[in-house]
A = this chain, B = another copy of it.
């Protein structure tokens, strides 16, 4: 075993570096914006997958955390997080049993968008003294999960209310990127229809970092679930949600080949950066090296094309700003917390690879 690195220069590559100062600034800034807008913040842990940052987010004022899979929620509950929202249709006996066990030890809420999901929850959760809070997922334009109409939401709310072990918690959406107004209109209509029938929406929750700075969300949204804001990435910079200086996650890589003056190959391919483009034209840029772009990935090689006089030599160490931070953390067993050039800590990515 190599000795524990004290500085970035001692870290073997590829490695994920998290700039702690930037991450903490991003946490504080988002919490302040949510507080100013009168919206609860419930960060999605998918971006970092670390109890360390989940606790920081709650300490900063978050109402709780959001996880996408039960396995992630189990890791966070084990680490002491106490209020977890799982915006996912939980299907099947094996998962419902795990969900029930989780419900017994933390404040838990989930979503449903079908009678089948609600029926499964109602069968497993029967304790009227400790009902499970169920929100209705609404398809407000993203064309993923969710009921299609306010009337369908009403039907599900009635089904939830009729189950002794469940309680209706409100509405949840993941809005289409760049179209928050449509989501707000949709949710307001559904909330009003439900109110007329006697169903108050305690929570109306939306997500997505790109649109998180919109204050007018507060008119309908009571809670917001951003994930990427803690690390930010190239996609968020492209969408105007962050500046390059806000980006806390980079991948430390080594140039292993420089076959031509305008081509360098990194030891970081799709196994390190993922293939997610999120609509961007290439896979990443090299911090501090204008004219260097990661233009192609195979599993273990990242191809950098150099222009404008940029040069790289075999053995050079570089930092890649990836398109999508969340999927990168899922590919590494550990991340390095850094401050300047100093390694502050090395953390196992405790909720990595939790697929069920």
Contact (Cβ within 8 A) B271 A355? yes
Contact of A143 among B303, B326, B333 (CB under 8 A): B303
Q: Report the Cα distance A13→B254, complex, angstroms.
A: 37
Chain B residues with CB below 8 A from A222, complex form: none
Q: What are 27 A-B pairs at a CB distance below 8 A? A: A13-B92, A13-B356, A14-B355, A14-B356, A15-B356, A46-B299, A46-B300, A88-B256, A89-B257, A92-B315, A114-B257, A116-B313, A120-B315, A144-B265, A144-B298, A145-B259, A145-B265, A146-B257, A267-B356, A268-B355, A270-B327, A271-B327, A274-B274, A275-B276, A299-B327, A330-B331, A331-B355
Q: Report the Cα distance A139→B332, complex, angstroms.
A: 29
Q: Is the interface of A mostly helix, strand, loop or mixed?
A: loop
Contact of A260 among B148, B259, B330 (CB under 8 A): B148
Known pairs A275-B275, A275-B277; A145 contacts B356 (CB<8 A): no
Interface residues of A in 249-296 (CB under 8 A from B): 254-260, 263, 265, 267-268, 270-272, 274-277
5 other contacts beyond A12-B356, A68-B299, with CB at 8 A cut-off?
Answer: A144-B298, A148-B260, A274-B274, A274-B275, A332-B355
Contact (Cβ within 8 A) A2 B46? no
Chain B residues with CB below 8 A from A313, complex form: 116
Interface presence of A32 (CB below 8 A) = no
Contact (Cβ within 8 A) B267 A274? no
Interface presence of A311 (CB below 8 A) = no
Interface presence of A36 (CB below 8 A) = no
The size of the chain A interface, using a CB distance under 8 A, is 62
Contact (Cβ within 8 A) B114 A314? yes
Interface core residue of A259, A277, A300, A356 (most chain B CB under 10 Å)? A259
Contact (Cβ within 8 A) A89 B263? no
Interface presence of A340 (CB below 8 A) = no
